[in-house]
Structure 1
Amino acid sequence: MPPSRLDAIYRRLLITRFFEKGWGKPENLRRLFEFRKIVSNREACYKLVPEDYPVEITKEEKTSECTILEGKFMTPLELHLPGLVPKAAQEAHFQVMLPNKWRDPNHKPICLHLAGTGDHYYWRRRNFIAKPLLREAGLGAIILENPFYGVRKPEDQVRSNLHNVSDIFVMGGCLVLESLVLLHWCERNGFGPLGITGLSMGGHMASLAATNWPKPLVLVPCLSWSTASAVFTTGVMSQSINWDMLETQYFSDGQYRERLAKMVTVIDEAFMAGQHFVKNYPSTIKDLQHDLKEAKISRSTSPVDVSKRSSTNPNIIHLDKENSLQLSESLHNKLWSTDRYELTNCEVNELNEKIKAVQDKLRMERHHNEFLKNPTKISTETLVNATSDTISPGSTATKLPSVQESKTEEESTLTKLMNSILPATTSAVATRQAEKIDITKTKWWEREALQFMRGMMDECTHLKNFSVPYDTSLITAVCAKDDAYVPRDGCTSLEDIWPGAEIRYLDAGHVSAYVLHQKLFRSSIIGAFERAKRKREQNGNVCEPISSCALSYDDLQRRYQDQMQFYN
């Protein structure tokens, strides 16, 4: 299904701009990439946080329906990677909501809620998810303040605008280790079963954190997917990134291109570009027809039928003879030699490159004509949209030759058509102007800096790089079919990475799902905790009964002081 238009419109209304200061220091990125190899291994990561890691409870408040605790602790990431976490974010703050009376004294379920993009402080998660879960199912909640958000936001940061790409990895590292601290704290206080959830970015962070807990853990990631690379490269959030600046920094400092780029790997690169093109082939041809119409060229072409795929290889796309498009002599002979031909990965890539080259030439021709027509008032927008029939001002107008309607379908192939309508040479003026104007912004995946971004995101966020959660039967992921923020095309499916996990799909976009389907998110969390409860009962693993819903404030303070003396 097409991406949600509402997602795109909502993104345009926001003024948030990400990574305005660039990639981050190369040395910091190198340390993060190396640390990722430790965090992605459950056994190694679990050892980074002691079971008695000190946590201070700073406030206790009892209301008619729940008990609210507030606490803080030093983020473990600062201990392992000193200097990477901003001073304001080094102290983790959280809020706990516990029912005044548990429905079952042997089961005290509590869920850790991680923040999505722009979710500052506690109120949104407390009122939209935590309180309703407390009323409906007696679920306790821990709401963790995100690094770089709320009270943990650096002074020079505006809203949610992370300064560097490296900040998103620092945020993820903090949340993974801080989640382990809070899960240990829950166990020490007799809570269980335990779970973790989040929406959007919070859902993906929850997935990463859950991979490092070596015990059964409820996991309900909402509106996230297997990697964050698509979010920042093909999703609507990619429009809020200054790619020109990132590209300039990437090429100006050799460490990014020559050293760091070799440390990252794009996991889902194979066939992604070809798949994306073929899936959108009819619309691509429509755009080409529009371009040719503006150039006063009439032609006809038929879209490729991509409705059928090979039963043995889903990456092979069937092309019907009558709907095939000739791109080269080799492809032409193969396409017309049989009634049906299976297009391989290399040939799909060739098809993709040919179409791209034709579209770029058409755009450059329009830019050239408009620039020569009015060079003093030229703008990027008019260059992209304008079309002229002349080759040079002040000279005899030269019309682009048209394609005769009597030509056969075979003769009206894209390659021959382009050879007939494009001039043999292009002036130096047009070449210089084309270099100044970035005509590839709608195809960022072709740019090397964006490939580096994809590699970084896959390296640090792709779930294939992390351990599989201890019990995948306790996972319920909720995804939006039309999500334009978190595209799924070209990314490995969660079903393939986590066999046994339940994946629920909504007929909605990212924004509409968040606004209209909160009840489904809560029901998914409740259902996953009910499964965890049944498993606990079968295994005879229940909480030790304690007189109150948690240790008293004074007891927690004394325990914290004892722990601090031990570590000091």
Structure 2
Amino acid sequence: MGVSKLDILYRRLLLTKLFIRGWGRPEDLKRLFEFRKMIGNRERCQNLVSSDYPVHIDKIEEQSDCKILDGHFVSPMAHYVPDIMPIESVIARFQLIVPKEWNSKYKPVCIHLAGTGDHHYWRRRTLMARPMIKEARMASLLLENPYYGCRKPKDQIRSSLKNVSDLFVMGGALVLESAALLHWLEREGYGPLGMTGISMGGHMASLAVSNWPKPMPLIPCLSWSTASGVFTTTDSFKMGQEFVKRFPIGADKLTNLNLVSRTLNLDMTDQVVSQKPSDYHQSNKTSISATSEGLLLQDTSKMECFNQTLSPNKSSYTSCGPQSYHLLSKEQRRNNLQKESLIFMKGVMDECTHVANFSVPVDPSLIIVVQAKEDAYIPRTGVRSLQEIWPGCEIRYLEGGHISAYLFKQGLFR
């Protein structure tokens, strides 16, 4: 099966813009990893948002074919992980588009979560919500993502999340915010309810439905079982998983991350590669931008020793011995560190976002996954299939790649 060249180009452009400040604060990461364990279990997560969680309507606008309600509420994430969200993201905002008339006594509503770069409501309202009213008299609720639109931090450029931790905050917040909205819709007499999303929105919708305690129709479009772009089983991937699983050991101990911050230098404010051997330690230290290809560029001997400590297998270049270290050229050492740091990051991201680490939805037979045959933006090779994780779900394929489907196949998604 071929791959889309457009997807490959877009992915390369995108990867150069994300996470320009590195991982985020170590103490924030620790709290997020602990919170991930809470929302990974539906029995625990369903009690985090009460059925009467307050939601407020700010404005109602009557239009020729529909009625548009704008509303807001405080993100439940702000209660459970205080001060983790930027102040601009604390207030969750949404828009509910309902038809003037319903086809039956039921009032079906689909919640649409935003994909990458989908700020505000215009795209989802124009390409999905309004056509769904015209075609099926189905209402749509559009939730604005944290870090997007009115919830975007002032110092963030477009959709470029500054830290890896921002992605984890976004995911956790959307799970709880979706629960708050589902409870509110039920209180208001709407139903049946369902969820969907395209690309990142589809993945976030999958996590939200995994935590909803009732059967829920779900249509994730152009997403897969994990948010990590490339899935690998190398030593660094295992390190990333262990990094999350071992810290913290106690569920109630949100104390220090000394080992993490000391050994992995998670706070990348310095962003300097420091090589210890004297023949390579030059006065002009090499500064590397903390993009997704350089998030954990560490002191070479430190990284290599840590790799050997946590990994049962040694890679061809990792060794704490100075002799083997000197055999590598400066460029080889730098390339090796970049590869290890990137794979390590993906291991951590996979541990935090893989749907297999969350509960199986109550009724997987209500799930239809829509995939692009030539998707090169979210590779599926080597990744556990959603059919394996969610037995009974249906997978449908459409022609083309990720980007072309995102731009031109909205009608098929509906």
TM-score bracket relative to the smaller structure: 0.7 to 0.9
Evaluate the alpha carbon distance shift between residue 49 and residue 252 of structure 1 in structure 2; reply closer, same or farther with a 3 A threshold.
farther
Give the structure 2 partner of residue 98 of structure 1: 98
CA apart distance, 1:247: 2.1
1:491 counterpart = 2:383: yes
Q: 1:513 aligns with which of 401, 405, 414?
A: 405
Are the equivalent residues in 1 in contact too, given 2:221–2:413 (CA < 8 A)? Answer: yes
The residue number in structure 1 matching 2:331 is: 434
Q: Tell me if 1:453 matches 2:376.
A: no
- SS of the aligned residue for 1:438 comes to helix
Shift of 1:455: 2.2
Structure-2 residue corresponding to 1:78: 78
Which residue number in structure 2 is paired with residue 27 of structure 1?
27
Between the aligned partners of 2:15 and 2:296, the Cα distance in structure 1 is 22
Cα deviation digits, residues 163-212 of structure 1 (max 9, x gap): 10000000001100000000001000100000010000000000000011
- Letter of the aligned partner of 2:68 in structure 1? I
Q: Which amino acid aligns with 2:369?
A: A
Give the alignment partner of residue 466 of structure 1, picking from 338, 341, 358: 358
Q: Which residue of 1 aligns with 2:158?
A: 159
TM-score, scaled relative to structure 1: 0.57
Structure 1 CA distance, aligned partners of 2:64 and 2:299? Answer: 56
Contact 2:375 2:402 (C-alpha < 8 Å) held by counterparts: yes
3-state SS of 1:228 partner = coil
Matching of residues 358-369 of structure 1 within 5 Å: none
Shift of 1:434: 3.3
Compared CA separation, residues 250 and 104, structure 1 to 2 (3 A): farther
Alignment of 1:534-553 (within 5 A): none
Query: 2:247 aligned with 1:248, yes or no?
Result: no
Is the 8 Å Cα contact of residues 233 and 453 (structure 1) preserved in structure 2? no
Equivalences for residues 185-334 of structure 1 within 5 A: 185-230=184-229, 242-243=291-292, 245-248=294-297
Alpha carbons 2:38, 2:44 under 8 Å: kept: yes
Check whether the contact 2:295–2:345 (CA below 8 A) recurs between aligned residues: no
Contact 1:225 1:494 in 2 (8 A): yes
Q: Which residue pairs with 1:4 in the alignment?
A: 4
Deviation string, structure 1 residues 223-246 (Cα, Å, up to 9, x no partner): 000111235989xxxxx9724541
Number of the residue aligned with 2:275: none
- d(CA) in 2 for partners of 1:118, 1:252: 39
| Rounded Cα–Cα distance in structure 1 between residues aligned with 2:140 and 2:298 | 42
In 1, the alpha carbon distance for the partners of 2:82 and 2:337 equals 40
Q: SS state of the match for residue 51, structure 1?
A: coil
Task: Please say if residues 481 and 505 of structure 1, whose CA atoms lie closer than 8 Å, have aligned partners that are also in contact.
Answer: yes
Contact 1:33 1:459 in 2 (8 A): no
Q: In 2, distance between residues paired with 1:249 and 1:440?
A: 7
Unaligned runs of 5+ in 1: 235-239, 266-348, 358-425, 523-568
After superposition, the CA RMSD in angstroms is 3.1
Measure, in 1, the Cα distance between the counterparts of 2:212 and 2:120.
25
501-510 or 175-184: bigger deviation: 501-510
| TM, length-normalised to structure 2 | 0.78
Structure 1 pair 247–91 and aligned structure 2 pair: CA distance change class (3 A): same
Amino acid paired to 2:111: L
Give 1:368-407 correspondences, 5 Å limit.
none
| CA separation of 1:73 and 1:18: change in aligned 2, threshold 3 A | same
SS in 2 for 1:505: strand
Q: 1:364 is matched with which residue?
A: none
Give 2:388's aligned amino acid: D
Query: Counterpart of 2:30 in structure 1: which amino acid?
Result: R
Larger Cα-atom Rg: 1
SS at match of 2:58: strand
Higher helix share: 1
SS where residue 220 of structure 2 aligns? strand
Q: Distance in 1 between matches of 2:69 and 2:189?
A: 16
Distance 1:212 1:155 in 2: 31
Kept after mapping to 2: 8 A contact 1:109/1:140? yes
Shift of 1:463: 0.9
Q: Indicate yes or no: 2:178 matched with 1:179.
A: yes
Tell me how far apart the structure 2 counterparts of residues 200 and 252 of structure 1 sit (CA, whole Å).
39
Cα contact 2:297–2:337 (8 A) shared by 1: no
Distance in 2 (alpha carbons) for counterparts of 1:466 and 1:190: 29
* In structure 2, C-alpha distance between the alignment counterparts of 1:119 and 1:225, rounded to whole Å: 19
Query: How far, CA to CA, are the matches of 1:224 and 1:244 in structure 2?
Result: 22
Q: Say if 1:230 and 1:488, in contact at 8 Å, map to a contact too.
A: no
SS in 2 for 1:220: strand
